[in-house]
Structure formats: C-alpha cells, structure tokens
Amino acid sequence: MKKIGVTANIRKPHTPAVLERLAAAAGEMGAELVCCDDTAQSLPSIRKISRHRMVAEIELFMALGGDGTVLRAISILNGCDVPILGVNLGSLGFMTTVTEDKLEHALRCVQEGKCGISERTLAVCSLSGSKKEYIALNDVAIGWGRSSRVVTLNVRADGEEVSSYVCDGIVVSTPTGSTGHSLSSGGPIIHPEVRAFVLSPICPHTLSNRPLVIPDTCVIEVEVLAASKTLLLTMDGQEQLEVSKGDVIQIARSPHSAKLVRLPDYNYYSLLRHKLHWRGSTV
C-alpha cells in the first residue's frame, strides 16, 4: 500500500498517541497517511487533502474511534470502493472489531493479504423534490422532532401498500443496522449476508404493528400523511434533514456496498454474544 486514509475521533484523549503508532507502522510499510478532516489536529505530520482526492488515491481507509467513526468514514467515501478498517479506541464495537492493542497486527495482516472483506449492504435515500441522494450503512430513520405528538406515515414497497402507521416514527434498517436503532425498536437481528431491509415502527399506537422484513430489491416509499410537527430524517445519524406533511422519502439498495476489513479470527456470532451479553448453557 502506498497511501492510507484516516479519520479519527479526536475527542478521545489518547487519539494522538494511537495516531503516532499508526504513523510509525505505516512508515515501516512505506505507506503515507492522509486525511480530509479534523484528524490532522491530532497528528500534525499527517497530510490533509481534499475529500475527492483522498477517496481517489487511497487503498485503505482506517476509522479510529467507535462505530460512529466508521459511519463517518462511510459518509466520506459516499459509495466509493475502498475497504474500511475500523479500530476501536474504547470497547469492542460491531463495526470497529479491531482493538487498539492489535493496530499494528491488523496492518500487517492487511499488508500480507490475510484479512477478509465483509461486504455490507448500503441503502440510498432521497427526498421528494430533491435530486440529492444520501448513503446509509445502518439505517434511515424518520420521526422525533420538537413535539411528542404522533404522526401518520404511509409505507409502500414497490408501489404496493404496506400500511399506514400511527407512531412516533419509523426505522428502515439494513442488516448491519439491525443491531442498532432497529433492535431497540423491537426489530430482529439480521445476519449481514442476508439481503433484506427491516421496517421497524417506533412506538406504534397498536399492538398489531410489528417489525417487517422485506427483500432489499424493493423500493420503499414513506409518505408523511399527517404531522403536527417538523420531523427529522436521518441517515446513520450523519446527515439530517427536516421533513413535513406531504413529503415522500424513497429508500432502496445502493448499487455500491461497504467493504469492512475483517481479521482472520473474526467471528460474527462471537461478536453478538459479547456485545449483547448473551448467556446460556455452557454444556
């Protein structure tokens, strides 16, 4: 590798020390570190370049922080075909599965071709009246706002009526995001290799409303039928737009995917047991 992109959570007090270690390890490999954001504040020796140039030139994008830092990396890449290596600067994450003590080991594994790639579904979201598209690795969420009053959201899949939900909002999740907001809304855990979306209503006003798993080949439309407040449309918590009555949000599977680097000993089920504190028989 000749060039490695980096984005880091500079609010972590030990981020500068970890970045220094990364710079030393990259130097031994003959690779240059570059960034396009405020990561340069924690490592003055790193070269800051434009986002477009960085995305076009790097062979690996490293996200140092937590899962939120990986989501920021996804937003920066915006669908570009660059593998992401997440290094957690705290506890083990769902996406940042490399702990900081294994930083150098992870880089060597990448250099020696010993790592695997987990391809993750990306959702693409657009708002009626706008040509701009937004990428999400985890989920697209509609709801909340400055009032506790309920809203009515009408959902269609490939033009077919699904339901009208009287609720606080709705989460449209990818398999990767099924362990996030969707899970806290009562949605199922979906293995990352399953091709599906999960529709999880938030606090629906009827007990018959349950999360729904549908094929990710469907184009989902969520129309705001009734709302006495301005709602928030968020993509992975990175982008945020205001929506109101009459707006239609369209969500579909992106033709691009996120490529998350995995070490040789990575095990998805072990990660679930650890993060969700599953307990059971040891027999």
Residues annotated as part of the active site: 67
Q: Do 184 and 211 meet the contact criterion of CB atoms below 8 Å apart?
A: no
Whose CA is closest to 61, among 259, 265, 279? Answer: 259
Whose CA is closest to 233, among 130, 105, 118, 106? Answer: 130
Alpha helices by DSSP H, the chain: 15-29, 51-57, 67-77, 103-111, 181-184, 268-276
3-state helix, strand, coil in the chain (%, to 5): 25, 40, 40
DSSP string, 81-121: ---EEEEESSS--SS--EEGGGHHHHHHHHHTT--EEEEEE
3-state secondary structure of 216: coil
Q: Do 190 and 207 meet the contact criterion of CB atoms below 8 Å apart?
A: no
Whose CA is closest to 61, among 237, 254, 260? Answer: 260
The token pair that represents 150 in the structure block: 């309920």
Distance separating alpha carbons of residues 188 and 276, to the nearest angstrom = 13
